[in-house]
A and B are shown apart, each in its own frame.
Chain A
């Protein structure tokens, strides 16, 4: 293992700066190494502490981040995690998320460079999320939880600083999104009446995973009156079905339905499995062709989905995705009669990835992926 001192002595790997928080922040802003908020200076000592939770060679890229295709080495990621305010024990989850984002189906180039407002939503499952106190209850999408705030921010800073997704250059989002500062949550395992997301996707319960989805910010679904599963689902379906979201006109769409625990309990009590929920939404969350502008109908929907709509009448119903299974159903949050609909980019597929030890077995804690060399 190459020593940290040696790696930092390589050209461009580090810089000397005055030990002055304001000046270091001014320098980062000037060079575009920032999300606009103050950063924690990535000093050698802080980066070294972060790397204690990394069992991989510090200078070997675990991914390349488009559109610049900058090499995401543990060393560089650790600097970004420090800047974001991460505790060192969060670092394995930052690296895991970056690896998931770099998997081919996620289309990170498209997610980074698009004019759409999507940002990677990180959904954690399993025991490590709970051990690190990732907030899955009240306010699970922020603010307040240190792990949620800083893991998501570390990923964003890496996307900007290594991937070059600066506004108007590598990130062409028309207006961006508040979710681009941090977008990180965990499923509420205790309040989930259904299979957790990672188990649904073939991982054992004891695995700790991240699922990445290119998502818009959440749109709230308020239902204080429905007492039945069908009532809650009808409200949800009515909120999902809109004309202007990417999900309705892209083949890869996977809309996220974030159930608040109380709505989830009502729906589960009515006998609905997660698959039943997906089938209900697939059938009921639809928009008639007549609701679309002439150009969207003729130039987009009839052309993108000729098998469904090439010659369909104006009363034909357009679903929000191509099969029930495409809906991503999660349970997040605390008390309250609220859920959320989270539209997605629609030109990518979500990816779930587990944290593993070097021998390929599932990590039970972040201590399993601590540095063995340094």
Chain B
């Protein structure tokens, strides 16, 4: 048991996926040729002025509401002044004293149960351009700058230092990403920089907070978890040895899994914040916020809980199926169409997910729709196919796009229910496995499973398992007498 309690806070930058940038009409498209989506405004040319993108404000309100935050009727933009080549104006337009959203929470589920993580604020700001250094930043002799990203809208979410474990931080981020994707306000893709996270962590024995360390360069949720685990261990050991941790920024090295000191906090910038004179205060009327509130979709946790309630799914299945709205909507349409939610969930989480993972396809690409599912379940119900064959048919249908019925017909996969035919095979199997038969007769009845397997093998899985078992048992019992 760790006697030092970790305190973790997160700062998450979420790119809002509006079509155009926060203050100009340039496209926000990721991955385009460098410096092709630029104009006087996002290049910070002399005389250019910002004009606020209303869609970004709407997305900001959506996210704020989804995170149970208060939407401020009046918020202001500020300038954060600092020099950096990819910051074309020499200041970033952001929010400071009063952000668009404040004081909320997100309730996460961990192995230890539910936990409310409090959120301090959510503010809208513009992204900077992107510096591309030649080689390592410390040795780079020159750098390129791509201003396509300059002015892309961001919402920064800042949590209170409420998080106590790496596990909780991970769950918080997973749920946050799910939420932004459910809302459709961001792709949430970390590898494209649409979600970026800095973490602050300190350790303390008492209730007073320890010295805060910031960790940067966290490129995946896995990295965040690993970096936190490492950092908690590192700080614990230092404190146990009577050493003091220092207020600093550390860089996470993905390869080695350790954090390295980048700079100490004494070199902190004075950003000289002051109200942005080019933008009037952002005034939101109640009706607008109310409208957005009413148009919010069902959020991940709500959906998950409803699926457990309505479709009697297991916690694990409900969690997995609600990982995206796409998957959840697919499940729900199948569940409704077939009236068999549990079975649908089984096939979805089994064969279908396996296929998706192997082929790296998404659920919308596979075309295994309600009609096919209904047909498939009817084949099963009527006993035309066996459960074993069923999996095979799904995979085949996913691969070829053919209907289950057609596959059954083409491949002759119809279940054998003819007792005479199965009896014939049972007799063959008993003849070919005398040793197993004698073991059964000597009382080792569990060998029956092996013999049944042989029957299925001979029929390529098509024999009705109940009938096969029944006939096998009857034949063996006859031999006993």
Q: Decide whether A and B assemble into one complex.
A: no
